[in-house]
Structure 1
Amino acid sequence: MTRVLVYTTLLVAFVAATGLTISAIFVPEWINYDTPSSTGGRVTKTMGLHRSCSSIDHTCHPALQYNDCKVEDRYFCSMWRSAGFIMSFAAVLEMATIVAYVMVLSGGKQKRETGWKLLTFLLVLVGLLQCTAMAIVAYLFDNDDRFFVGWKLAKSWIFCIVSWVIAIISAAALSLSVYVFPPEGGYELIPSERYHR
C-alpha cells in the first residue's frame, strides 16, 4: 500500500503548508521596519496584506489607508490588493485540495491510481498563485519609495515561500510516485471468472 503512504505523507505536509498560508494572510508581517528610537527603545512598523501595525501608537489599522490609494499611488494600492486577493484565492484552493486528498484516499485503489492527476494540477496551481503573490510583494518592496533603508521582508513573506515550495514539491513527488512505485497489488479475478478457468 505504498500509494496510501505517499498520499498520507503529502497530505500531512500540505495541511502544514495550508496553515502557513493562513498565517501569511492574517499575520501582518510581510514587510517590517525596525529601528532604535531616541528614548532607547525600538520603533517598529509591520505591514501585512490586510493590516498594518505600529509600535508608536500600539494600534493596527487597515494596511491601505486613503493616502496609499491616491492617484499617484494607485499602482501600489492595486498591486498590494492583488497580492492579498491572490493569497486568499490560494487558501480557498488549498482547502479544496485537502478535500480532494481525502476523497482520493478514501475512494479506494482505483481513485488512488487516477486521482494523482487532479491533485497534481491543484498543487501546481496553488504553488503558482502563492509564488505570484510573493513576487508582487517583493517587487513592490524593491521598487516603491515608501520602503527605504530599515524596511525588510518579514516572516509572513517567508511563510508564503515555504508554503508554495511544499505545494510544488508535493506535486513533483506525487507525479514521480506514479512512475516509481509499483501498483498497490494485482487485480483479483471476479469469482465467476475463477470458476470458468
Structure 2
Amino acid sequence: MRKTSYAATFVAVVVILVINILSSRLPDWLIARYDTANTHVTVRYGLMERCESSAISIPGPSKGGRLEYSDYECRQFPSRVQDKCDNENRLFCALWTSAQYFTELGVGFAAMGLVALVIGISTHSRRRRVWRAVAGLVILHAVFQLVTFILVTELYRKDRFPSFEHAKPGVGYVLNAVSWVLGFAVGAGVIITGVAADRGHKWAAGHRFRPYKPVPTYGTNV
C-alpha cells in the first residue's frame, strides 16, 4: 500500500479512537426526564456513571415572582446497593457492566491499530504486509463497539431498568453507533486497498511497486 493510504488510515483510526473515548466517558447514553408540579428532573445514564439534575421552581414572595433552585449530582452506575445489583436488577447490572468492558476492549484494539500503523510503515517490506494486521484490529474494534451497542439497545428497548421506560437515546449512544459504522468502513477500505496493492494496481500500490517473484530452485543430479 502507498504511504498516502496509510496516512489516511491513521487519521481515520485516530478519529474513531477519539469518538470511542468520548462515547465511553459521556454520561448521556440514555436520558430520562420527569416533570412534577414544581420540579423538573433529568437523569443521564452513561456506561460508567449516572448523573441527575433537578430544577425546582416555587412561587416567590413578590407577586408573580418565582424562586428557582437547581442541583446536579453524579455517581457510579450501576451501583451494587443503590441500583439493587444483588437482587432484582442482577441481570441488568451484569449486562451493563459487560457493555463497559466491551467498549474498553474496542478502544484498546483501535489504539493497537495505531501502533501497528506507526511500526508498519517504517520500512517498505513492512508496508506490504501490515495492512492485514491493521484491518483485523480495526474490524475487531468495530465488532466490540457493535456488541456494546446491541447490549445497551436491548436493555433500553426491553426496559430492563425501571427508569428506562422514560428514557431517550443521547449523544454517547449516537457516538458509539458512529464509531462502529466508521470502523467497519475503514476496515473494509484497508482490505480493498491492500488486496489491490498486492495485485499490483498502481492506484493502491504506487508506481514503484515490484511484485514478489518466487526464487527458482534447481534440482541436482547425483
- Structure 1 residue aligned with 2:100: 84
- Structure 1 residue aligned with 2:194: 178
CA contact (8 A) 1:86 1:133 kept: yes
- Distance, in Å, in 2 between the alignment partners of 1:78 and 1:145 is 12
Q: Aligned pair in 2 of structure 1 residues 36, 176: CA closer, same or farther (>3 Å)?
A: same
Q: Residue 49 of structure 1: SS of its match in structure 2?
A: coil
Unaligned runs of 5+ in 1: 188-197
- Distance, in Å, in 1 between the alignment partners of 2:42 and 2:53 is 5
Q: Tell me the CA shift for residue 10 of structure 1.
A: 1.6
Q: TM-score if structure 1 supplies the norm length?
A: 0.86
Identify which range, 174-183 or 45-54, moves more after superposition. 174-183
- Distance, in Å, in 1 between the alignment partners of 2:78 and 2:161 is 15
- Write out aligned runs for 1:148-187 (5 A): 148-180=164-196, 181-182=201-202, 183-184=205-206, 185-187=208-210
CA deviations 1:91-141 (Å, max 9, x no partner) are: 122211111111122x22221111111111111111000000111000000
CA contact (8 A) 2:141 2:180 kept: yes
Q: Tell me the CA shift for residue 55 of structure 1.
A: 0.6
Residue 98 of structure 1 aligns to which amino acid in structure 2? L
Q: Residue 125 of structure 2: SS of its match in structure 1?
A: helix
CA contact (8 A) 1:141 1:147 kept: no
Is 1:119 the counterpart of 2:134 in the alignment? yes
CA contact (8 A) 1:31 1:46 kept: yes
Q: TM-score if structure 2 supplies the norm length?
A: 0.77
Identify which range, 44-53 or 85-94, moves more after superposition. 85-94
Q: Aligned pair in 2 of structure 1 residues 72, 37: CA closer, same or farther (>3 Å)?
A: closer
- Structure 1 residue aligned with 2:148: 133
CA contact (8 A) 2:132 2:194 kept: no
- Distance, in Å, in 2 between the alignment partners of 1:119 and 1:142 is 34
- Distance, in Å, in 2 between the alignment partners of 1:12 and 1:134 is 24
- Distance, in Å, in 1 between the alignment partners of 2:90 and 2:128 is 49
Specify which of 50, 61, 73 is matched with residue 75 of structure 2: 61
How much identity, in percent, do the aligned residues show? 23
Residue 111 of structure 1 aligns to which amino acid in structure 2? R
CA deviations 1:140-159 (Å, max 9, x no partner) are: 00111514443111111111
Task: Name the one with the larger helix percent.
Answer: 1
CA contact (8 A) 2:120 2:126 kept: yes
- Distance, in Å, in 1 between the alignment partners of 2:113 and 2:37 is 50
State the structure with more CA Rg. 2
- Structure 2 residue aligned with 1:98: 114
Q: Residue 38 of structure 1: SS of its match in structure 2?
A: coil
- Distance, in Å, in 2 between the alignment partners of 1:176 and 1:102 is 20
Residue 138 of structure 1 aligns to which amino acid in structure 2? T
Larger RCO of the pair (alpha carbons < 8 Å, separation 6+): 1
- Please give the root-mean-square deviation of Cα atoms over the aligned residues, in Å: 1.8
- Structure 2 residue aligned with 1:33: 32
CA contact (8 A) 2:30 2:169 kept: yes
